A = this chain, B = another copy of it.
Amino acid sequence: MWLNPRNPQLNKNGELHHLLSLEGLPVEILRQILDTANSFVGVTQRDVKKVPLLRGKAVFNIFFEASTRTRTTFEIAAKRLSADVINLAINVSSTSKGESVLDTVANLSAMQADMFIVRHAASGAPHLIAKHVGPDIHVINAGDGRHSHPTQGLLDVFAIRHYKKDFTNLRVAIVGDILHSRVARSQIHALTTLGCPEIRVIGPRTLIPAEIRGLGVHVYHDMREGLKDVDVVSMLRLQNERMKGALLASGQEFYKYYGLNDEKLALAKPDAIVLHPGPMNRGVEIDSSVADGKQSVILPQVSFGIAIRMAVMSIVAGN
């Protein structure tokens, strides 16, 4: 067995083999990813944006759930590492012929793939796939159900470190639909590992699961109270389907209580930064004056996301 039995994303030397979740990832590996990404920020701003680290490798974007944005960032990252990229939108193909996910993956493995970037609506799908691929294939979770979206969590903490330098005296508020958010979970795990002493989650009772307190976070239902003196405001995207569902009265109602506007942001520290994973619902979870304002680091997050994905891919390929 080539993987570490206690953590299926590490090899037996304790190095990153798959990236499935930020939960349980050792702090040294988190820092290795952030430091490596930092070295790639420069590459993506050069005139020739390519490095040959993955030349001749085949990276398969296997998206069982559509996500142009995430797929594109992985595709760009892989091409900047000189890999060959194969895009597969599996919902419209083999599985519609009745083939199981594992048969699909076994077939793609037999094509001598080097890396699978996997997005799936079912929580745990990337773990299942990682368990069944051969020792030469690396699996990177690009979002699975409500569970995890580790590269998003990594780019978020990269952005926080970039602007705040140190995690050990930060107060971070995560605001919105915690219940359905894989982004929130990934942020909480990464921030905790990196030593952030105070994480607050803010949202309506219907959108904050009870078990979240088990992760050591503080729960607020009053956004004004929760934002007081925080260094970082991490806004979550409100899925459209929630606005129509039983969990919320309406988008306008949500905006009134949990939308970030200038007035509420003024309660945070004056130099607080605002994060959002995108795409934004302007006027629902965030006001345009905040989204486009000087405390917003939403677009730099996107740039950092390329560097983070380059870092993860080059690290697993090198181990």
Contact = CB atoms under 8 A, between A and B. Distances in A.
Contact of A76 (B69, B86, B89, B303): B86
A56 B151 CA distance: 24
Given A107-B69, A112-B44, A281 B98 contact: yes
Interface string A285-303: 0000000000000011111
A56 B48 contact: yes
Nearest to A51: B56
A278 interface: yes
Nearest to A77: B111
B92 A302 contact: no
* Most chain B C-beta atoms within 10 Å of own C-beta, residue among A108, A111, A278: A111
A177 to B, nearest CB: 14
Complex copy number for this chain: 3
* Most chain B C-beta atoms within 10 Å of own C-beta, residue among A47, A73, A88, A97: A97
Given A56-B49, A279-B97, A72 B92 contact: no
Nearest to A69: B94
Given A50-B56, A278-B107, A75 B86 contact: yes
Contacts of A46: 56
Given A55-B48, A84-B79, A279-B103, A111 B303 contact: yes
A110 B299 contact: yes
A90 interface: yes
A19 to B, nearest CB: 20
A179 interface: no
Given A76-B58, A88-B72, A112 B279 contact: no
B98 A240 contact: yes
Interface in A59-83: 66-69, 72-73, 75-76, 79-80
Nearest to A99: B279
Contacts of A56: 46-50
A111 B73 contact: yes
A93 interface: yes
A45 interface: yes
A188 B257 CA distance: 56
A306 B112 contact: yes
A103 B111 CA distance: 34
A76 B240 contact: no
A112 B49 contact: yes
